Amino acid sequence: MILFLAARPVTAPPVRPSPRRRTRFRPLAPYRRIFAVPGTRAFTAANLLARLPMGMLSISAVLMIAGSRGSYALAGAVTATGLAATALAGPWTARLIDRHGQSRIAVPATALATLGSLSLLLCVHYGAPDWTLFASYAATATTPNTGGMSRARWAHLFRDDPAARHTANSFEQAADELCFLLGPLLATLLCATLFPEAGTAVGAALLLTGVLLFTSQRRTEPPLATHTTTRSPLRLPGLPPLLGTFLCTGAIFGSLEVVTLAYADAHGIRSAGGVLLALQAAGSGAAGLLYGTRRPGRDRPGRRFLRCTAAMAALMLLPPLAATTGSPAALAAALLLAGMATAPTMVTGMGLIQSRTPPGQLNEGMTLAVTALLSGIAAGSAGGGWAVDHLAGAGTAYAVPAAAATLALTVTLLTARPRPGRAPGP
């Protein structure tokens, strides 16, 4: 891999398709356009390497702790503690990145998180007291939002080109889906075929290596804001409602995972549970890439976001209906279709966050969105688990992700109307 190093950031030149030349594969043209900017391929490859562990470390910790201590309850409590710590520390890490730069903050923050993962590994391997597991995994909360840092670079490079930013955000969402698709599979393979600590060790190594390579791409790093503010993005108009929708979307993901695994177990196809979830992620990733090839319409992004959440709420009714048939094949098709609305919703929502957040607070704003998603995932997992145990079977529990999608649409509808005397948002 060739790494491009330069002292000053690069501004994307205006790239316009020539009317005399037609691209043979039209769907690929928008992606070729954004990756034609020098340095974008290098930082994207490095960021994908750094982002893959986000789908590995949590499940690796569960497999490692449960395999060593024989307690899934302990493993779940440790990972939940790490999730809560990340929700608290993530926005502060992002604020430091906005103020002092990606290369100056992300590297030491990642080093501390890597030490936390290694400490957890050693504590599990040598039978340290349980409290050391909680302390070690909590230290991983300083892991920077690698996806947010990548989106911030795209937003800087194409700050005057909404169509290119739309394509870049679509690619980033598809990359997230790919990491959550491949990460758990790689973690399970490593822990099962090598040794229980292998997933954590490899994940920590990939994270540190990827962040080092990513931050070395200085030419595409966004410049520091000339005017800094201590005002939290939470106080910006229009941002809290978006975070509310992201919270509900996270609840869809969390509940869908638990309910699908329970459904597969109840139907004697436990090993196919991961495949069913992979179909949902595959549908979302494919829809995200396809969505990026379309130029944004002339209507406001807020209206597009409303349409996306409406489509997500409608398609999320398919899994409960398919579950009533008792056919895993019907459920697989329903999950594939249901996943096709989540990526466009996330892409449009991230675009709105970028437009409503000052350039000097982009990382913090997008990290707040990720925090809302993580909080929703935790709440959705708990709600889905409760529904599986207390409702009439795992199939009925698919009402939880459907209800979360309906709630996301309700929040969007209630907050989409402009207040009296104020102009509507973008």
The sign of the torsion formed by the CA atoms of 386, 390, 395, 398 equals negative
**Among 355, 109, 356, 98, which Cα is nearest to 229's?**
98
Q: What is the 3-state secondary structure (H, E, C) of the chain?
A: CCCCCCCCCCCCCCCCCCCCCCCCCHHHHHHHHHCCCCCHHHHHHHHHHHHHHHHCHHHHHHHHHHHHHCCHHHHHHHHHHHHHHHHHHHHHHHHHHHHHCHHHHHHHHHHHHHHHHHHHHHHHHCCCCHHHHHHHHHHHHHCCCHHHHHHHHHHHHCCCCHHHHHHHHHHHHHHHHHHHHHHHHHHHHHHHHCCCCHHHHHHHHHHHHHHHHHHCCHHHCCCCCCCCCCCCHHHCCCHHHHHHHHHHHHHHHHHHHHHHHHHHHHCCCHHHHHHHHHHHHHHHHHHHHHHHCCCCCCCCHHHHHHHHHHHHHHHCCHHHHHHCCCCHHHHHHHHHHHHCCHHHHHHHHHHHHHHHCCHHHHHHHHHHHHHHHHHHHHHHHHHHHHHHHHCCCCCHHHHHHHHHHHHHHHHHHHHHCCCCCCCCCC
Which residue type is seen at 116?
A: G
Site of tokens 């996270």: 250
Domains, the chain: 40-223 (1.20.1250.20), 233-419 (1.20.1250.20)
Query: Quick check: pTM over 0.95?
Result: no
In the predicted structure, residue 70 carries a pLDDT above the cut 80: no
Position 227 scores a pLDDT of: 56
CB 360 within 8 A of CB 229: yes
Q: What is the pLDDT of residues 358-407, one digit of tens each?
A: 777 777 777 788 888 878 877 887 777 778 777 766 678 888 889 999 99
Q: 């990526």: which residue's tokens?
A: 343
Q: What's the CA gap between 402 and 111, in Å, rounded?
A: 40
Please report where in the chains the tokens 């957890």 appear, as a residue. Answer: 120
Report helix angle 102-125 to 57-69, nearest 10.
Answer: 20
pLDDT band at 273 (very low <50, low <70, confident <90, very high): low
* Percent above pLDDT 70 for the chain: 85
The 10s digit of each residue's pLDDT in 176-197 is: 878 877 887 788 788 878 888 8
Q: Which of 72-81, 115-124, 302-311 has the lowest mean pLDDT?
A: 72-81
